Chains A and B, each alone.
Chain A
Amino acid sequence: MAETFLIFLVVVLGAAVAIVPLTSRLGMGSVIGYLGAGILIGPDGLGLIKQPDEILHLAEFGVVMLLFLIGLGLNPRRLWSMKKAIFGLGLSQVLATTGLIFAGLLAYGWSWEQALVVAMGFSMSSTAIAMQMIDEQGLKTHPAGQNGFSILLLQDLAVIPMLIFVALLGQAPLAANDKSSGQQIILSIIAIAAIIVIGRYLARPVFRWIASTRLRELSVGFSLFIIFSISLLMHYVGLSMALGAFLAGVILAESEYRHELEANIEPFKGLLLGLFFLAIGMTVKLDLLVARPLELFTLLVTLLSAKLLVLAVIASFFKMDKRNIIVLAILLSQGGEFAFVLFGEAVRVSALTADQGALLNAVVTLSMLTTPLLMFLFHKFVAFRLQLSEPPHDEIHSEGHPVIIAGFGRMGQIIARLLGTHKILCTVIDHNPSQIDFVRRFGLKVFYGDASQIGILEAAGVKDAKLLVITIDHQETVNRLVTEVQRLYPHLPIVVRARDRTHTYQLLDLGLKNIERETFGAALSMGQMALKVMGVSTFEAHRIALRFKAYDLNMIKRLYPIHRDEQQIISQAREARESLERLLTQDMEKNRQPGATGWD
């Protein structure tokens, strides 16, 4: 027993370590690596692991923990602000997808009960896959990521009535509990209330108590205890464990132990989620692929096309740009964990045959494999084209504004407002559609376009402009734009944002004078605040910051001639820094002596 377990661990972890970094490095993400590793070692691959189901049960906690962590990142207030996306997007996704697939299956000649069960199962997406990809690709703050998450949340809720429906279909009662649906609902409410009460009032004192013992492992233990006990409770009342964990996370999001919980659960989540994908990979029935390729393929295409289509249509109603629409559709295009649960339940109550169940599970698994692939293909072949040609740039009407601002983030906005105080009008160009929507809501006029393309600038009237302000945050883009503009309009003054000192030198090389490092001003103000808090008088702090600024700018000028010589610039820069600090300190000490200035 011990030996088989050890072999199991060695094989599973070994496969993961061997394959996942590979796919990760190829830019395909980790999910496809885990799935691939699972297929490789699974019963239908090399056959190193015979019983994938066992590991699947354990690995499911990866999903539970994932939802718990997501909940911790939110809090009730933020969750409430998402209600429109959750119910608007989520509900329409579930209903439309179910409807579309249902109709399709009826047309293939399925019975309505079976068609409905399959359609409901297929309408669910995989939280594990989607959230992992949202995380990996940094989509959390993008519309695709946020809306995707909202939809997943609603699916977690929708699975409850679906399970009840499946139970009603068969004459047999629900697996975990022999209660009527009325009792079921009451129990669910009680369970949720229990989670809220425990999260609010019980978890904190326990944490405080544990913290006082200073035993770090106990804190980890208690964090896991929370996860498992909630899962157990949810299991008893027949609710989704992941949903319960999510709820607990949201409630604990406001407690002072939030970060502690996060740090405790995070490593378990990562590993278990990986195992989860591995297990899914292992369960792929490759023999079905050989035995019934046509059926499998038809169902897979039905699932994918229905989901992609519905998601794309719904997302476009929610005013997302093309790029985000496609990303969202791909993110949620797969079948999910809930499909396995639903189909398993349907087989148990004989709403589906075991044969059908196996086939459907294979379809869902294959659809999970396609997601990272689709995303990879999208990024490789479509995404960059989308940025260049889609959505079409706004028609920029050159209204003869004397100033053009390229890049309208936080910097550009402030500059435009300052110019506005003197009724100096700006034509503003930005290439981030969500940014533009945001700014437009404040009544500012902004045009969508890639300001680094000279054609766009020409459409914006650069020929007659008196000033070009560049606040784009991408160094190479800025340099390219400056070079191009100077070639065509050598007399146009440019005020430009630099990333850092090195970039400043590059811009000086290009012959520019009005250069500001993007964080320099903020750093000076913060330093001034810090001095003040530490007891330096307001005026003194202000003066020190100004003197520092003057000296630093002077140093840039002085070091400019040698900036290509790395050795020299490092030694000179250090010297200059030391002499500045000496100067400021001397000044401070001099002023500290009474009467030193000749005045009292």
Chain B
Amino acid sequence: MDSVNPILLIFAHPRPQQSRINRALISALEGLEGLTLVDLYEEYPDFLINVTREQKRLQEHQLLIFQHPFYWYSSPPILKEWLDVVLEHGFAYGEGGTALHGKDFLHVISTGGDKQAYQPSGYHGFTIPDLLRPFEATALLCGLRYHTPLLLQGGFSMSDASLAHEASAYRNLLVNYYRNGRTVLSSR
């Protein structure tokens, strides 16, 4: 049972109205063909995630995207809750847990600080790929193909023009994926 849409975007931001970058990214995707957008905070304000519905969504799509701000070197809490309850043993991993095998995974992350801050010598002392290791491990255990994360950094200082540029690049990437499949994503 495949959905007509190959792309599943799981979006998590507790206050999207206050996020310049995420607002820009999401509105850039408006009306995009082949995209299913799930706004976790809008859909589950009480964190009571409908596991059956979410698993069905996963099965019906080919590309799974997590888009969220980089809160304390990780995701907002609802996405962790989503991982904990949706990626069940026997569904996503373990015996018979092959539902996600061979599907694609892409992380789209916005940070306030710029690239230099995320270096071993920088303000935060680690690179973002380092900090995303738990997500990468999760993806691998579930048999997902892990692609190079899409990073939107320097959110506090990014000009409107470059934000618009980033946003349309994001849209183009997804359009390309819809037309040409996974070859458009770069693997590490």
Contact = CB atoms under 8 A, between A and B. Distances in A.
B112 A599 contact: yes
A599 B21 CA distance: 11
Contacts of B21: 600
B112 A600 contact: yes
A594 B21 CA distance: 10
Contacts of B188: none
A591 interface: yes
Interface in A561-596: 591-596
Contacts of A356: none
Contact of A600 (B19, B42, B46): B19
A595 B15 contact: no
B15 A540 contact: yes
Contacts of B149: none
A595 B112 contact: yes
A306 B43 CA distance: 65
Contacts of A594: 18-20
Given A595-B156, A598-B112, A599-B69, A538 B41 contact: yes
Nearest to A546: B46
A381 interface: no
A586 to B, nearest CB: 15
Contact of B18 (A541, A543, A596): A596
A595 B155 CA distance: 9
B18 A539 contact: no
B110 interface: yes
Contact of B17 (A541, A543, A592, A598): A592
B45 A542 contact: yes
Given A591-B15, A591-B18, A600-B112, A537 B41 contact: yes
B18 A538 contact: no
A212 interface: no
A141 interface: no
B97 interface: no
Contacts of A597: 15, 18
Contacts of B155: 600
A600 B16 contact: no
Contacts of A538: 41-43, 45
A188 to B, nearest CB: 59
B71 interface: yes
Give the interface centre of A538, A541, A592, A593 by most chain B CB atoms within 10 Å: A538
Contacts of A593: 18
B41 A600 contact: no
Contacts of A599: 19, 69, 71, 112
A542 B46 contact: yes
Contacts of A539: 14-15, 41-42, 45
A133 B128 CA distance: 78
B22 interface: yes
Interface residues of A, number: 17
A465 B46 CA distance: 33
B110 to A, nearest CB: 6
B18 to A, nearest CB: 5
A3 B61 CA distance: 90
A474 to B, nearest CB: 33
Contacts of B15: 537, 539-540, 591, 597
Interface string B102-145: 00000000111000000000000000000000000000000000
Given A591-B18, A600-B20, A600-B112, A541 B45 contact: yes
A316 to B, nearest CB: 49
Interface in A509-526: none
Contacts of B20: 594-595, 600
A539 B21 CA distance: 19
Nearest to A536: B17
A496 to B, nearest CB: 25
Interface string B68-86: 0101000000000000000
Interface string B12-44: 001111111110000000000000000001110
Give the interface centre of B14, B17, B22, B45 by most chain A CB atoms within 10 Å: B45
Give the interface centre of B14, B15, B17, B71 by most chain A CB atoms within 10 Å: B15
Contacts of B71: 599
Given A539-B45, A542-B45, A600 B156 contact: yes
Interface string A522-552: 0000000000000001111111000000000
Contacts of A541: 45
Contacts of B19: 594, 599-600
Nearest to B14: A539
Interface in B29-67: 41-43, 45-46
Nearest to A600: B155
Nearest to B45: A542
A595 B19 CA distance: 7
A224 B110 CA distance: 70
Contacts of A592: 17-18
Give the interface centre of B14, B16, B18, B19 by most chain A CB atoms within 10 Å: B18
Nearest to B69: A599
A516 to B, nearest CB: 18
A158 to B, nearest CB: 58
B142 to A, nearest CB: 27
B166 to A, nearest CB: 13
Nearest to B20: A594
Contacts of B42: 537-539
A591 B18 CA distance: 7
Nearest to B155: A600
B171 to A, nearest CB: 19
Nearest to A593: B18
A597 B17 CA distance: 13
A599 B113 CA distance: 9
A286 to B, nearest CB: 73
A593 B17 CA distance: 9
Contacts of A543: 45
Given A592-B17, A594-B18, A600-B22, 4 more contacts: A539-B15, A541-B45, A592-B18, A599-B112
Closest 7 pairs (CB-CB, A-B): A542-B45, A539-B41, A600-B155, A539-B45, A538-B45, A538-B42, A600-B19
9 contacts: A537-B16, A541-B45, A542-B46, A593-B18, A599-B19, A600-B21, A600-B22, A600-B110, A600-B111
